[in-house]
Every structure is written in structure tokens, then in C-alpha cells.
Amino acid sequence: MAIVQEGALLSDIAEKMQLKNYTPEIDLTECRVRVPDINRPALQLNGFYDHFDKNRIQLIGMVEYAYLHSNKTPEERIEIYQKLFAYKLPCMIICRGLEPEDALLKVARECNMPILGTKRATSEFEAELIYTLNAELAPTTTIHGVLVDVYGEGLLITGESGIGKSEAALELVRRGHRLVADDVVEIRRINDHTLMGSSPAITKHLIELRGIGIIDVKSLYGVECVKDNQQIDLVIKLEDWHRDTEYDRLGLEDEYMDILGHDVVCHSLPIRPGRNLAIICETAAVNHRQKKMGYNAAAELYRRVQDNIAGGGDK
């Protein structure tokens, strides 16, 4: 079941974006951001508040800063700040290392409005801030499984407990791939085309192996064998092999698994003694990557068969 975030803590946003806090007396852990978008208040500085979304972070760049200090008297600026901050905004961020004037900080403290700053260029910072907010506020769910980065493809391995997911992940790590999460995978829908998976902090870089216990992949195999997050591209569903079940042998038509309203290609992999799960999972990831690049081996086989039939079976 998807969990819609109630809001991202402003303290977390400030830490990730390395923002300077000009109002340290305001507790950022008590402030939340609920909209994954920002506003540059050019029109609001002129008194136009129709369709104004007060839930957005307000971003002040060189243009807004220059307008305020070149075209408005100190008294007019105070009036603008009071009217703007009366909307109980999440915060205001000033870019390019521009220093907020004392009057702005005074009104901000009176209205309990956090004022933050960054030295980065406005457009560059704006793009990264929107991406960060989308990630923090994205719909979230958790899935029992293992997530591994295999040649750049995010491979989510699912199946019943004890079927061999963690063992397959460990073998993939030994073959040079990177572990993202074991047992519990936290998934965020960043946008309509992107699902991002990560590990809960408590199990990060750890794998549980029945009969052995918990192992630390980062400590045993090195930092190059782990990864903090990964886009999910393919799902491998491990299941016990049954003689009477028919399994796809060609792969002409893809099956899908719905995750947060996004269809992800899913392969059901029957488990039998002697099958090397790691190699099969690795091959599935490479084959999926090849399909995305425009080549489908099953479609090529079908084309050859059709050509052979059309040629009278001489080829």
C-alpha cells in the first residue's frame, strides 16, 4: 500500500542542500514542506496574490533581490515582507550568497518564518531543490525482497521467505555487482517513469543468510559493492518449480508488476536444484538492458522462423 508523505522536515532539506540558517532561533525540525515545487515571488513583491500557493518554498534570486533594493524604500520593503510572511510560508531561501537585510530578518522572526541561504546560482539550485523535494515527498511503499544494481539495471528480486533471494544477491555481489537493499526495500515513485529503491537505515549494507546470520557486505567486500539507492528497472519473482505449471520459454510478451501505479517488467523464475540463480538474474538484467537498446532476441527468433516458413523451409 502506498504511503503519501505528510511532509518533509525542513531541517532535512536544509541539511541535504547545505543551506545556511539566518534564523537559528526557529526550530527547523518543527517546519514541514508539503509541496514539491517552489515559487519565485516576483508578482507577489508587487502585491499580486491571486492564485498564490502559500505552501511552496519562496526563492529569492538576483532579480528579486535587486528589485527590492533598487525600487523600494526600506518602509515599502517592510510592508512587502509583512504581507508575504502573513501567508505562513514553509520558508524563504536567498540564493547567490546574497545577505538578507536586518528588516527582513526582524519581520521573519516576528512571523516565525525561517530564512535560509545558499551561495549557488538560482537556476541551478532551483532545479536540484525541486528534484530533492520530489524525492522526499514521493509516494512510498515497502516490498519484501532484495534490490541489486546489475550492470546499471535495478534488479528487484522477490519471492517467499527462504527461497534464496539473499543468497542470489550475495553471489551477484561476489560477481562484481552492488547491493542496495536486502529483506526490505523502500520504494519511492519520483515521477510517472521512475521508481527509486533504497534500504531502511537499520538494515543498510546488511544481508541475512540463514544458517550464518547477518553479514556486513560493505565491510566484507568493500565500498564498491554497495549502493545507497537505485532506479528499479526489472523484477525477478522467484517461485518453487511445479511440474504442471507452464512457464514462458520465449519471452515474446512481457509480464508486469504494478508498483505504486507504475508497471515494471516482471519475470517469474522457477527454482530447481542445480540452477545458478545469480547467473540467471544477471542474464535477465543484461537481456532487459538489450531490449531497451532496441534488440529483442525472442523477436529475432520469431522473425527467423517466419522467414524460414515464407522461404519454404529451405533456410
* Closest CA relative to residue 251, chosen from 312, 189, 206, 302: 302
**Alpha-carbon gap, residue 60 to 73, rounded angstroms:** 18
Using left for φ > 0, alpha for ψ between -120 and 50, and beta otherwise, residue 221 falls in alpha
Active site residue 188: no
The C-alpha cell that represents 191 in the structure block: 515521477
Q: For Cα atoms 155, 286, 164, give the angle at the middle one, nearest 5 degrees.
A: 40
Active site residue 102: no
**Alpha-carbon gap, residue 196 to 181, rounded angstroms:** 12
Catalytic residue among 193, 249, 258, 272: 249
Residues β-bridged to residue 38? 57
Pairing between β-strand 178-181 and β-strand 206-209 as defined by DSSP bridges: unpaired
Q: Which helix (H) or strand (E) covers residue 186, if one does? A: strand 184-191
Catalytic residue among 56, 77, 165, 189: 165
Catalytic residue among 183, 204, 254, 262: 183
**Alpha-carbon gap, residue 194 to 196, rounded angstroms:** 6
Active site residue 189: no
Active site residue 165: yes
Catalytic residue among 106, 144, 210, 275: 144
Asked whether the beta carbons of 248 and 171 are under 8 A apart, the reply is no
**Alpha-carbon gap, residue 191 to 195, rounded angstroms:** 7
**Alpha-carbon gap, residue 46 to 41, rounded angstroms:** 9
* Closest CA relative to residue 146, chosen from 121, 170, 129: 170
**Catalytically annotated residues:** 144, 165, 183, 249
